[in-house]
Amino acid sequence: MGLRISPSILSADFGNLVAECKRVADGADWLHVDVMDNHFVPNLTIGPVVVESIIREVSTPVDCHLMINDADHWAPGYAEQGAQSVTFHVEAATNPRQVARDIRNHGARAGMAIKPGTKLEHYEDLFPELDMILIMTVEPGFGGQSFMANQLGKIKRARELVKNLGLDIWIQVDGGVALSTIEQCADAGADTFVAGSAVYNTADPIEAIANLRAKAQGATDASWWCGN
């Protein structure tokens, strides 16, 4: 079972952004780029211009996490720019089905993110339109927050639904993912792991990714959903 580690550049030095992206390239499967608009979340990061530069300069595929209002209008543009995966928040979309279709039509993987307070079951009928479901394990907006263990049941439920429907949808977890929490996430059913501070706030980010990967792989191999 292949798993993916996607370092979040939110914890990187934004003054040296391209170099910081390249610093994790040898270990990362994806690069998680957090776009925030100061409306959907109380924080502001980067927009299409900077994301476009990252896509141009960095060979690691970009996993764009849009924490912005009016996903219907903005999300397809990130796919058009060349982000290989674009994830919108379902709470910020008027017509999530159409947003997912628009993202796919521009050649990217379509992801749907849900905040800790949002119920997954309401959106089950959208699953066939999706390539990834992002379960937030912190309130979106900032790196370095504590992992919300009360979201593990939602990860498990997502895995059950995906399994039952026979769909190939990645389940991503984002927020407080670290050596101390990644095994619980993998055991619950996540296969795609975002880690910001646990990668960038270390002396050796490549080694940090390898250690996270090893823990996640061990837990996956022994898990209810993937183990033997």
Residues forming contacts to ligand DX5 in the complex (CB under 6 A) are: 8, 10-11, 32, 34, 65, 138, 140-145, 174-177, 194-198
Minimum distance, C-beta of residue 166 to ligand DX5, in the bound complex (Å)? 29
Using CB under 5 A as the binding rule, whether residue 65 contacts Zn ion is answered as yes
Active site positions, annotated:
34, 174
> In this complex, which beta carbon is closest to Zn ion, that of residue 33 or of residue 100?
33
> In this complex, which beta carbon is closest to ligand DX5, that of residue 193 or of residue 225?
193
> In this complex, which beta carbon is closest to ligand DX5, that of residue 34 or of residue 187?
34
**Rounded distance, CA 185 to CA 203, Å?**
24
**Rounded distance, CA 224 to CA 228, Å?**
8
Characterize the bridge pairing of strands 109-114 and 132-136: parallel
- Identify the residue whose tokens are 């999706």: 130
Q: Answer with the entry of ligand DX5, Zn ion, none that 197 interacts with (C-beta below 5 to 8 A by kind).
A: ligand DX5
**Rounded distance, CA 111 to CA 172, Å?**
9
Minimum distance, C-beta of residue 8 to Zn ion, in the bound complex (Å)? 5
Q: Answer with the entry of Zn ion, ligand DX5, none that 144 interacts with (C-beta below 5 to 8 A by kind).
A: ligand DX5
**Rounded distance, CA 163 to CA 26, Å?**
31
Q: Are 174 and 8 in contact (CB under 8 A)?
A: yes
Q: Are 182 and 168 in contact (CB under 8 A)?
A: no
Tokens at residue 125, please? 């009928």
**65, amino acid identity:** H
> In this complex, which beta carbon is closest to Zn ion, that of residue 111 or of residue 225?
111
Binding mask 7-46 for Zn ion (x = CB under 5 A): ---------------------------x------------
Using CB under 5 A as the binding rule, whether residue 129 contacts Zn ion is answered as no
Question: Which of 122, 115, 78 has the alpha carbon at shortest distance from 97?
Answer: 122
Using CB under 5 A as the binding rule, whether residue 174 contacts Zn ion is answered as yes
Using CB under 5 A as the binding rule, whether residue 115 contacts Zn ion is answered as no
**Rounded distance, CA 222 to CA 188, Å?**
11
Where do contacts with Zn ion occur on this chain (CB under 5 A)? 34, 65, 174
